Structure 1
Amino acid sequence: MAIITLTTDFGEKDYFAGAIKGAIYSELPNIEIVDISHTVSPFNILEAAYIIQNAYSSFPKGTIHVIGIDSELNQENKHIAMKLDDHYFICANNGIMSMICSEIAPEKIVEINIHDKIQTSFPVLDVFVKVACHIARGGTLEVIGKTINEIKPIKNILPYVNDEKNQIMGKIIYVDNYGNVVTNIKKSFFETIQKGRAFEIYARNYKFNTIYKKYSDIVNFEIPEGKRNDEGKGLVVFNSGNFLEIAVYKSNSATVGSASSLMGLGLMDTVSVKFINE
């Protein structure tokens, strides 16, 4: 039996996530349901895209991913089901899948057309669950929708190169639970442009010229533990998803602060990388 994952902005207070699980179990009692996140910021498509891109590949092939972000059906916000990288995704056609699709081409996309039989103000429960259970039973995408070839993009999802200034221009696309800020600059793109050159990374009034392999590389372990002053230091790493991330070592909003709070960095702020020609 397949796995169904849930990624939503429904939070933990309301009944929405529980109702979805109950509806799935009512149709498929032996299914396995995994919560990826229910605390995506409300209607934050870019945040959801980052989360699902970095989570889905850890699941077995054939997993079905239900994404409930900005899913109300209207003439500008249709519903889609997609097969990509041997996984299935069910969501609104609002740009959520464009981050993954920028790197991996979908095998098939359909625009879901079962709505005529279902009148609902809660499409994740009444439509997405039906589609997920259909796929889990071995059903094909063609049965629940018409094939389409393109999906709606998210603007500014990819960094670009400013040749005149010899730099990469990127944006902050995610702020994690520690207040670390994640850019849309991936390691592979960075290294392709870098070509071994030295660099300077700029975010507001802050400048960095080192990318660490891991957070604790900023610590000088030759100094006795009680005499170090490492907590609260800013640093740059490529995180586990291989995105360029600006962090604060052992950040804590209640004590030392975070990259977001201390540096004043937020979603869609610009981060640039200037390369130095020798």
Structure 2
Amino acid sequence: MSTPGRRRPRWGPSCRRRSEKRWHWSRTSWSIAIVDVAVITLTTDFGTRDTYVAEMKAAILSITRDVHVVDITHEVAPHDILEGALALEAAAPRFPAATIHVAVVDPGVGTARRGLAIASRDQVFVGPDNGLFTPFLGDPRWRAFELTAPEFRGALVSRTFHGRDIFAPAAAHLARGLEPARLGPPVTDPVRLTWPQVRVAGGRIGGAVVHIDRFGNLVTSIHADAIATLGASIAVRVAGRTLPLVRTYGELGRGNPGALVGSSNRLEIAVNAGSAAKALRAGRGTPVVVSRSSPVARRAPRRS
């Protein structure tokens, strides 16, 4: 059942906002009503010390309260567009169809760079046109629209805070059922980042570290499907070390480094109960090579 006067978004063939029960208070009693609840996520480099994230949420809730606002992360390194794109790539596919993802890693705020809404994979991505949404432009059905319609912005637009005054209001209106095409004219040339490449040749796969997570794990550009082409016996070379490919952190002795396929389906370099970044003195851009090895070399020795 839909709330009267509300339209379901139609961004793709399977988009449905989920309904949920909510308690409503009248003057004499509580009652249950079924309402459509949209999901909006936020990904930024704002951190949580300042009020920026709360102001974006306030802008959304001032337009619609029938929404779940989910924080993906606000700890993207300042101005690091690639890190923001990788965070979205990892998290966005986990959300249901019709989710609206607002991302703000925007060193070009206030310049001529465009604001966009991109409909892709039955979801919508809202934010600056600076490459943040590169992972979702592989969908052949993507459509993009520039955010130019003034009626779907805040009453006053700051030159330095488009997240609050342009992107958050646009997302809130989309959550109310607005078609993305009403936000502005179509865009056929959104900015794309130079995406981390993987080279496959002669039984070897070459890639690089693209992200270091909170635990010091080195997340690489190499996906599991590429590794599978090499067979069962694999060795990984990084920072002058040859490491075994294991299935879990626990297969490594405490303090020992190794490689495994992480939850994002990418090859990761890890140290059991430690930081691979510190132990190997490696960082983003460090080369990683995966190759066939003898079965004996697969398991790292355990420390007693």
Shift, 1:107, TM fit: 2.8
Distance 1:114 1:233 in 2: 55
Alpha-carbon distance in 1 for matches of 2:179, 2:240: 52
SS in 2 for 1:2: strand
Q: What fraction of aligned residue pairs are identical, expressed as a percent? A: 28
Equivalent position of 1:185 in the other structure? 222
Q: 1:263 to 1:106 in 2, by over 3 A?
A: farther
Aligned partner of 1:171 among 208, 212, 223: 208
Which residue number in structure 2 is paired with residue 223 of structure 1?
none
Q: Does 1:140 align with 2:179?
A: yes
Is the Cα–Cα contact under 8 Å of residues 121 and 136 in structure 2 kept in the other structure?
Answer: no
Q: Does 1:273 align with 2:273?
A: no
Q: Report the secondary structure of 2:111's partner residue.
A: coil
Tell me if 1:56 matches 2:92.
yes
- In 1, distance between residues paired with 2:39 and 2:63? 14
TM-superposed CA distance for 1:91, in Å, is 1.6
Out of 215, 219, 227, the position equivalent to 2:249 is 215
CA contact under 8 A between 1:81 and 1:89: conserved in structure 2?
yes
Counting only pairs closer than 5 Å after superposition, residues 89-238 of structure 1 correspond to structure 2 as 89-102=125-138, 104-114=139-149, 119-120=157-158, 121-161=160-200, 163=201, 166-192=203-229, 194=230, 196=231, 198-208=233-243, 210-218=244-252, 230-238=253-261
State the shift of 1:190 in Å.
Answer: 2.4
How far apart are the structure 2 equivalents of 1:101 and 1:158? 16
- Report the CA distance shift for 1:115/1:168 in structure 2 as closer, same or farther (over 3 A): farther
- CA contact 2:145–2:180 (8 Å) conserved in 1: yes
Separation (CA, whole Å) in 2 of partners of 1:248 and 1:197: 22
Give 1:130's aligned amino acid. P
Cα 1:156/1:63, change in 2 over 3 Å: closer
What is the aligned partner in structure 1 of residue 299 from structure 2?
none
* Superposition TM-score, scaled by structure 1 size: 0.84
Q: Given the superposition, is the C-alpha separation of residues 17 and 184 from structure 1 closer, same or farther in structure 2, using an over 3 Å criterion?
A: same
Distance 2:174 2:75 in 1: 26
Corresponding residue of 1:46 = 82
Contact 1:73 1:79 in 2 (8 A): no
The equivalent residue for 1:263 is 280
Secondary structure, counterpart of 1:80 in structure 2: strand
| Distance change (3 Å), C-alpha of 1:15 and 1:260 | same
**How far, CA to CA, are the matches of 1:122 and 1:115 in structure 2?**
16
- Contact kept in structure 2, 1:82 and 1:106, CA below 8 Å: no
Larger Rg: 2
How many residue pairs get aligned? The number is: 253
User: Does residue 12 in structure 1 map to residue 48 in structure 2?
Assistant: yes
Give the TM-score of the pair, scaled to structure 2.
Answer: 0.77
Contact 1:167 1:272 (C-alpha < 8 Å) held by counterparts: yes
The residue type equivalent to 2:163 in the other structure is V
Instruction: Compute the displacement of 1:10 (Å).
Output: 0.4
Please list every run of 5 or more consecutive structure 2 residues that lacks an aligned counterpart in the other structure. 1-36, 295-304
The alignment partner of 2:55 has SS state of helix
Mark the CA change 1:197 to 1:3 in structure 2 (over 3 Å): closer, same or farther.
Answer: closer
Residue by residue over 1:210-269, the C-alpha shift from the partner in whole angstroms, topping out at 9 and shown as x without a partner, is 322221123xxxxxxxxxxx3211011100111000001122xxxxxx100110111122
Q: Alpha carbons of 1:106 and 1:160: their partners in 2 closer, same or farther (altered >3 Å)?
A: farther
Q: Superposition RMSD on alpha carbons, in Å?
A: 2.1
CA drift of 1:198 comes to 4.0
Query: Structure 1 residues 149, 191: CA separation in 2 closer, same or farther (over 3 Å shift)?
Result: farther
Query: Residues 81 and 110 of structure 1 are in contact (CA less than 8 Å); yes or no, is this contact kept in structure 2?
Result: yes
